[in-house]
Structure 1
Amino acid sequence: MGKIFAIVSTVLGSIIGAGFSTGQEIFYFFSQFKETSIFYVSFSSILILLILLYLLDIKVKSRVILKIFRAYILLFSIITLIVMFSAFGQLGEEFLGVSRYVFTLLCFVLSIAIFKHGLLAVVNINKVVVSILIITVGFVFLKSVYKNEIVFQIESLKYTLPKNIFQHIISPLLYSAYNSLLAFPVVNRLKERFHKEEIKLSIVISSILIFLLLSIINTLLLSKNNVQTSQMPLLKAEKSIFLQSILVACTFLEILTTVLANYMGLCYSIKNSKAEFVVITISLLLGFNQFQVLLRKLYSLMGYIGLSIIVMLILSTILSKDRRLK
């Protein structure tokens, strides 16, 4: 169970980044659907499960396709790093009143220091941070229910297909593709320390927890109209200074864990420490831009590219007997 907990925490830590722990990503991708959000949250959670299980086992023989996949992971890691650096700075400015440039640099320094200690350091920090975040979010939710501050948006489980079905389906597809590929380099590294069956079980558990967290946070955001214009809506949803402080601290740490996941993505794609450092430095400089603008524009873009990559991989493995990705 200790191994499963470590893997689950690490997989979740690679997905629960700035957009997730601040609520901005959930609001953008799911809350727009109001009372039917639960269907899209469910759809995304199932897709994340299926994509991660698929990526765990495949192998691509074609060098061209493998190079395209590595190039995507590289681009993906760079763009996510830019957003994470920006989020760390924005969080410091919004809640601590310190220049976001200072906190962006702090994120860079701390992440490099942690990453130098290897995969074990990443696993250990995730075990602590993910546990605290889950407990705190659950407590905030139950507290809001007890005080009748939660207005459940699901009036009925009856669902009719909307007229603009493409617009409704594309959001969960983009979210699933983006976050599955975000977790892939981490899952790939976990194979060095854990058995494949342990990782598969952990992916199943992680998907269930993602569904629960998405549902809880989405309900909180929909019930509190006053937070929906904030760049950090979840952090503004709790009035208690103590609980808000825990959420802010968790968000700082979750941003770091996502940065570490993307460092693994760079290692998977580049395999050259000097080139990796140059890429990280460029990402840092670009990360001085506004968090909300970066997240909304770049995440959707990478989601579309990610969908294309996943379709490409599926087609390549259908035509090949050997289905493992090196």
Structure 2
Amino acid sequence: MESNNSFKIASIYIGTVIGAGFASGQEIMQFFTKYGIRGLYGILVASVLFSLIGSFILLKVYRHRIQSYEQLLRPALGSVIGRLVEGLLSLLLLSGYCIMLAGSGALFQQQFGLSKAYGILFMSLITFIIFLFSIRGLAWINTVVVPILFMGIIGISTWVISHWGLTLSNEVGSSFNSYTGNWMTSALLYVSYNSIGATVVMCSLLPLINSSKAAWEGGIMGGLGLGLLAMFLLIPTLIFYTDIHGMEIPMMAIATKVGSPIKIGYGILLWLAMLTTAIADGFVLIQSIEKRMPRYHVLNCLIFCMAAIPLANLGFKNLVNTLYPAFGYIGIGVALLLLFRR
């Protein structure tokens, strides 16, 4: 039973982080690929940090019987700072959900030649249906989708390596941008952004954490799994960097080079990855809303999904480039507060 719960917890952890930015290759391009082979060092650092942070938070949730991120923040930060951080985290969750909707729109346009609006509306509809089933839907979708994502990402990366070799088009790396100064800074920002969102989700997993072993195993498995997936995304983006630089969905462009069936298959995998993160972000934010409006579950889900649609129309790449680094810095601040204040 414990091992099953560990896998469920790890799957939700991975599914929360892996979303549109990760599985599309856009996050890997922005935070790691541009540094060439040195991006691998950043991924190794990120994997260790993901494992440590995941285990720490899940153990804290289990030992202190934490059921929401408010219960984690208030005792550590106090009422005033806690409320401020809660507001920032709510904005983080909303922006994360919008990025997944925008990613779905970009995918529909690039993969099927359809309007972005169709992809955004379809994702919004599916997430609304799953939100109605609360944590059962969250757990089920991740335990089914995450293993499929592993097979798909590792499979396409292995295919690329076997056919094109390990000749890297970006060995030296490109110039640093204004947000991330080097591969270490990128790794820290990447982990801080994603882990603060994952922490919020993990605070809602107490019903699944039936032992301390399940907690730390789930954190370690989740962190190592994220590192492994990131590595298998980094390698093909390094090989094809000059061809895919500037594209909204780099891995889809790589899948196109492999062949039409692979392109279609990866498009489905990518959409499922977006779905898991959208569900995780939306699930926690809706839970927070329902503490104030507990009797209106269906209405809360509907309003949340509809309100996110206009923001999603800002565009996938624009949202990733702007919000991810910004919330990375916020994540570092929140993490430091949690570590040094009781």
- Change beyond 3 A, Cα 1:253–1:33: same
| Correspondent of 1:167 among 164, 178, 181 | 181
Q: Render the CA deviation track for 1:133-154: whole Å, top value 9, x for unaligned.
A: 1111111122222224333689
Letter of the structure 1 residue corresponding to residue 233 of structure 2: I
Quote the residue 2:253 is aligned against. Answer: 236
Query: Is 1:260 equivalent to 2:274 in the alignment?
Result: no
Instruction: Give the Cα separation in 1 of the matches to 2:108 and 2:339.
Output: 41
Relative to the length of structure 1, the TM-score reads 0.88
CA RMSD of superposed structures (Å): 2.4
> Where in structure 2 are the equivalents of 1:188-199 lying within 5 Å?
188-195=203-210, 196-199=212-215
Q: Distance in 1 between matches of 2:314 and 2:199?
A: 27
Q: Deviations over 1:25-45 (max 9, x none)?
A: 110000111121111111112
Aligned equivalent of 2:268: 249
Following TM superposition, by how much is the alpha carbon of 1:112 offset from its aligned partner in structure 2, in angstroms?
Answer: 0.6
Structure 1 window deviating more from structure 2 (194-203 vs 293-302): it is 194-203
> Matched residues in 1 for 2:156 and 2:239: separation?
13
Deviations 1:209-254 (A, max 9, x none): 1111111111110001312231110121122222222211011111
Contact 1:21/1:254, CA 8 A, preserved across alignment: yes
Question: Do the aligned partners of 2:192 and 2:332 also contact (CA within 8 Å) in 1?
Answer: yes
2:122 aligned residue: 106
* Worse overlay, 223-232 or 287-296: 223-232
Candidates 42, 45, 65, aligned match of 1:43: 45
> Does structure 2 retain, via aligned residues, the 8 Å contact 1:36–1:154?
no
Partner SS for 1:167: coil
- The answer for the alignment partner of 1:321 in structure 2 is none
Deviation at 1:122, TM superposition (A): 1.7
| Pairs within 5 Å for 1:49-198 | 49-56=51-58, 57=60, 59=72, 60-61=74-75, 62-151=78-167, 167-168=181-182, 169-195=184-210, 196-198=212-214
Residue 178 of structure 1: how far off its partner (Å): 1.1
Is the Cα–Cα contact under 8 Å of residues 15 and 183 in structure 1 kept in the other structure? Answer: yes
> Aligned AA for 1:17?
G
Residue type of the partner of 1:70? E
Instruction: Figure out how many residues of one structure are paired with residues of the other and give that number.
Output: 310
Contact 2:25/2:233, CA 8 A, preserved across alignment: yes
For 1:300, which of 318, 325, 329 is the aligned residue?
325
Shift of 1:198: 0.4
Gaps of 5+ in 1: 156-161, 318-326
- Whether the aligned pair in 2 keeps the contact of 1:82 and 1:283 (CA below 8 Å) is yes
Q: How many angstroms apart in 1 are the aligned matches of 2:192 and 2:287?
A: 18
Aligned to 1:159: none
Q: Distance in 2 between matches of 1:269 and 1:65?
A: 17
Partner Cα distance (1:6, 1:275) in 2? 26
C-alpha separation between the residues in 2 aligned to 1:286 and 1:22? Answer: 20
Structure 2: where are the runs of 5+ without partners? 62-71
Aligned to 1:217: 233
Q: Which amino acid aligns with 2:280?
A: A
How far 1:75 moved relative to its partner? 1.0
Which stretch shows the higher mean deviation, 248-257 or 138-147?
Answer: 138-147
Write the distance in 1 (CA, Å) between the matches of 2:18 and 2:47.
Answer: 13
